[in-house]
């Protein structure tokens, strides 16, 4: 008997049919369990996933999973498949970073990392919610920005915004604002809000021309919005799309090829593309892909026209997927399945996905995964359009963190990788051992003096702010 996990269309009340159809009968217990644990901590979700998978296998020992593609990509049924992981012939492992620093408090997580000319930036979790700027060669803190009062949710850089003509740092926050920062004044130069409304913002994106800013909101009542601004006129939004998603909007990415095409994903299980400059919501949505899980991250794949995979997705349950540009599902599986054991030299087990990287100069999708011990590895897949295609373990970076790695930045220009963890540390690594990475003048580890210096800088800023 075949079993298919199905995601139905939009119900009248805005909900989605996420039941399991088994021989014509609904088997909803596992799906209800998954739904109730979407907001719980990662280790509990992992436990539920393991138990749920075992129960499903026990209920259908002879079942054969398969994929069903729906026309236009609006509805997709998928069942994760086990993949094989091979070590690359040139696989290598780095046992320690060549530079390291830390946030002012060891109680803060490093949530996001971004790059400015000559500097790296990192956003901290509560209690400070501050944004730190570090010199790219020394990793010494040069500025501390106040961040958002209720939590900084995303951090990114853009080559230019609102025709200012220089790279800028932009962030979103649970205080309901988008802020464009000027590190020269330790304050924001542009602030966008939704006309006094306090709906928390979970993500933001800027179009390639720097003239459109989009933000995704938390679910409030029955609505979750995508809000658009012209940063040259930040006082009020241009438009709001409120029917694209029915739950928290977790990620937004503008297309690198089409300035007005926006990729969005949500905990409602949908990945969508829509036209950002379309006022009519009914006409704005271009394609919709349904995935039977809460989507936590997604992005574009800079691939050749012949490649079928153009978009990647990551769920809260640590499943990974690829999609066509029309959002037809190409691949879906548990990212923890590919593992390497009993190898003469290498062993790797994935516990979670950190992030993915693809760019015009490096179009092949780089998938960075982590272990609960604080190590992380680079995986690649030569055929992202084929289910169960084998994965390759390319490189491992070990012994830099004492816990979960929360953020990662691949700096192609300097051929280095920055990792940020729940241990409050930021580590700088060579991307490849054979590369001549930039010279670093700092000692290899952060000292207590550097943390004290950062705290003094924060206190000085807070005092000046209070006087104003």
**Per mean pLDDT, which range of 10-19, 48-57, 167-176, 197-206 is the poorest?**
10-19
**Rounded-to-integer distance, Cα 84 and Cα 389, Å:** 8
> How much is the mean pLDDT over the chain?
80
pLDDT at 345 over 90: no
Instruction: Convert the pLDDT of each residue in 137-152 to its tens digit.
Output: 889 999 999 999 999 9
* Mean pLDDT of the region 78-106: 85
**Residue from 283, 317, 324 nearest 301 by CA:** 324
Q: What are phi and psi of 210, to 5 degrees?
A: 75, 15
**Rounded-to-integer distance, Cα 287 and Cα 120, Å:** 35
pLDDT at 437 over 70: no
Pairwise pLDDT comparison (11 vs 241), residue with the higher score = 241
pLDDT at 367 over 90: yes
Distance between alpha carbon 133 and the CA centroid of its chain, in Å? 21
Helices (H), ranges, 37-169? 42-59
The DSSP 8-state label assigned to residue 197 in this structure reads: B
Counting every residue written for the chain, the total comes to: 468
**Residue from 387, 416, 389, 419 nearest 402 by CA:** 419
Q: What are phi and psi of 274, to 5 degrees?
A: -145, 160
Half-sphere exposure of 71 (CA within 13 A, CB side): 0
Tokens of 356: 């993915």
Residue 400's beta-bridge partner residues?
A: none
Residue 195 confidence (pLDDT): 80
For the chain, the C-alpha Rg in angstroms (whole number) is: 22
Q: What are the extents of the domains in the chain?
A: 3-73
Pairwise pLDDT comparison (76 vs 176), residue with the higher score = 176
């Amino acid at each position: 008997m075949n079993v298919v996990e199905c995601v139905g269309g939009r119900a009248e009340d805005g909900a989605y049919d996420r039941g399991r159809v088994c021989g014509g009968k609904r088997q909803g217990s596992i799906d209800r369990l998954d739904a109730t644990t979407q907001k719980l901590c990662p280790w509990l979700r992992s436990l539920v996933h393991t138990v749920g998978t075992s129960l499903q296998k026990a209920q259908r020992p002879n079942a054969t999973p398969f994929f069903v593609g729906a026309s236009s990509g609006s509805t997709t049924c998928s069942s994760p498949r086990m993949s094989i992981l091979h070590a690359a012939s040139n696989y290598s492992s780095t046992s320690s970073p060549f530079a390291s620093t830390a946030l002012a408090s060891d109680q803060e997580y490093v949530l996001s990392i971004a790059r400015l000319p000559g500097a790296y930036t990192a956003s901290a979790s509560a209690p400070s919610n501050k944004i730190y700027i570090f010199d790219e060669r020394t990793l010494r803190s040069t500025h501390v920005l106040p961040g958002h009062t209720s939590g900084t949710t995303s951090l990114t850089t853009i080559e230019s915004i609102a025709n200012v003509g220089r790279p800028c740092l932009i962030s979103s926050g649970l205080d309901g604002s988008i802020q464009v920062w000027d590190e020269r004044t330790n304050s924001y130069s542009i602030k966008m809000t939704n006309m006094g409304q306090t709906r928390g913002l979970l993500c933001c994106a800027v179009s390639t021309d720097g003239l459109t800013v989009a933000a995704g909101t938390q679910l409030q009542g029955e609505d979750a919005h995508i809000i658009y601004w012209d940063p040259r006129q930040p006082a009020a939004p241009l438009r709001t799309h409120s029917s694209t998603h029915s739950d928290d909007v977790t990620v937004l990415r503008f297309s690198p090829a089409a300035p007005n095409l926006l990729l969005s994903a949500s905990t409602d299980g949908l990945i969508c593309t829509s036209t950002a400059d379309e006022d009519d919501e009914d006409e704005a949505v271009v394609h919709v892909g349904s995935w039977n899980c809460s989507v936590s991250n997604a992005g574009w794949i800079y691939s050749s026209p012949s490649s079928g995979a153009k978009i990647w997705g990551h769920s809260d349950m640590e499943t990974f997927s690829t999609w066509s540009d029309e959002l037809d599902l190409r691949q879906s599986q548990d990212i923890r399945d590919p593992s390497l054991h009993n190898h003469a030299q290498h062993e790797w087990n994935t516990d979670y996905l950190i992030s993915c990287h693809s760019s015009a100069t490096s179009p092949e999708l780089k998938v960075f995964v982590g272990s609960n011990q604080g190590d992380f590895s680079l995986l690649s897949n030569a055929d992202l359009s084929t289910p169960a295609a084998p994965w390759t373990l390319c490189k491992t970076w070990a012994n830099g963190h004492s816990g979960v790695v929360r953020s990662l930045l691949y700096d192609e220009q300097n051929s280095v990788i920055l990792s940020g963890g729940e241990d409050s540390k930021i580590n700088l690594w060579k991307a490849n051992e054979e590369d001549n990475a930039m010279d670093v003048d700092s000692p290899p580890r952060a000292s207590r003096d550097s943390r004290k210096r950062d705290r003094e800088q924060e206190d000085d800023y807070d005092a000046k702010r209070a006087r104003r």
